[in-house]
Structure 1
Amino acid sequence: MWKIARQMIRAGVRTEPAPDCDDALRVDDGLRVGAQPIHREILDILGRALTIRQVDAGSCNGCELEIHALNNPYYNIEGLGIRFVASPRHADMLLVTGPVSRHMEVALRRTYEATPAPKLVVAVGDCGATGGIFGESYASCGRVANVIPVDIVVPGCPPPPIAILRGILTAVQRGRAPSD
């Protein structure tokens, strides 16, 4: 056991630095914030840690696997003050994946309405951004923006965890005012 403890002390913390925000992901030009430590920015903007409610609106689960990868020690989002919650009533942001299936349309709207203002919405993946290969049909409403307002889109099929984290941080920096 002491051998493992010594090895951990010698190795130190092995996480990569948080990514910079990508202005190309913005839906429209909003508030631009200068470069500051990410955790400090989250506290300045929200006054507390960022809490996210992830909603699968009908995806293939590819994006969910990448979102789960954000929770591993390599990306260390807990250290940035970002955590996932089980209830939309405790969330600051909705992270929505997949094209919105007709069966999830009402549930997604209710989740959005239950999220307290100011709320941020990030559509993850090509399906969330454009409807992907599913598009709009009798079974699908298509992109997330067809059902609820979206602040940031993260393209990719599936997008890598670093792109998802970049989209989350871009949304936080935008700091959208309440739309309701």
Structure 2
Amino acid sequence: MNVSKSPWLLHYDGSSCNGCDIEVLACLTPVYDVERFGVINTGNPKHADIFLITGGINHQNAQVVRQIYNQMPNPKVVVAVGICACNGGIFKECYNIQGGVDTVLPVDIYVPGCAARPEAIMDGVVKAVALLDQKRKTAAEQPAPDPKEAG
């Protein structure tokens, strides 16, 4: 069963220096063209399948990140891009940084680097698409819940 669809990607900048964000935008240019893998960039979490986050998590954006994640339909994949998103990076000892994305969300794919190169980001996105396909296939194979057992 082929469950592959064109996944939509939502990019959120946590509290980064914008180095990784520039590299994410470079992935969307014709030079790298991440869209050739079927990925479409969106600004709406309700349409997104892949949540790509750059920057660390601080006390001000933790709730925003959780809210965006909760608005996304299942199944979904979270990609942490850059060392700050992976573990807080050089800012992890700062008073306002909680750490990487995994302090508030389950992360599926880690793309380290400072700043993460477009090739590495695209590799992470390709892995995220494959994982999303796997999650969709697993969800499709699950039996539907019995309404008699719900009540």
Residue 104 of structure 2 aligns to which amino acid in structure 1?
Answer: V
Listed as ranges, the matches of 1:80-159 within 5 Å are 80-135=37-92, 137-159=94-116
Q: Offset at 1:173?
A: 1.4
Unaligned runs of 5+ in 1: 1-43
Instruction: Provide the rounded CA distance (Å) in 1 between the counterparts of 2:50 and 2:93.
Output: 25
* DSSP-derived class of the 1:111 partner: helix
Residue 22 of structure 2 aligns to which amino acid in structure 1?
Answer: L
Once superposed, which parts of structure 1, at least 4 consecutive aligned residues long, lie more than 6 Å away? none
Q: Offset at 1:45?
A: 3.9
The number of equivalent residue pairs is 134
Q: Percent identity?
A: 40
Task: Note if contact 2:77-2:131 (Cα within 8 Å) is conserved in structure 1.
Answer: no
1:177 aligns with one of 122, 135, 147: 135
Q: Offset at 1:156?
A: 0.3
Q: Offset at 1:136?
A: 5.2
* TM-score (norm: length of structure 2): 0.83
